[in-house]
Amino acid sequence: MGYYGVIKGFDVKIEEEAFCEHCYELEPFTPVIEDGADYCLDCFASGNDVSKDIREQIELESAKMQLEYYTKKINGLMKYIESFEKCEHQEGFVGE
């Protein structure tokens, strides 16, 4: 899962294993601008003219992917907890 495309003339990559040449490892689905090297939006914007409109559009795309990613993670954790709680109510549960 990931996004690779051009947003307002910038090559943007949004993926689970995000990496910035300056910050190194990033949170999953942090937007990265490809400009001969990979830079997070903040690092790229500090050295280039990036309008508020462009930042917002890139951040919106990133937020959509982060929401989907973290929703899946939370749902998985909830299922794990529910299955563990079911085990606690069974006879002979080791935790008793």
**Within-domain flag for 14:** yes
Tokens coding 16? 């689970």
Query: Is the distance from CB of 14 to CB of 29 less than 8 angstroms?
Result: yes
Chain segment 26-69, per-residue pLDDT in tens = 888 899 999 889 999 899 988 888 889 988 988 898 888 888 88
Note the pLDDT of residue 92.
57
Task: Return the SS3 of 60.
Answer: helix
Asked if the structure places residue 93 within a domain, the reply is: no
Tell me, what amino acid is at 52?
A: K
Residue at 95 is within a domain = no
Domain count, the chain: 1
pLDDT of residue 63: 87
Domain extent for 17: 2-88
Q: Is residue 96 part of a domain?
A: no
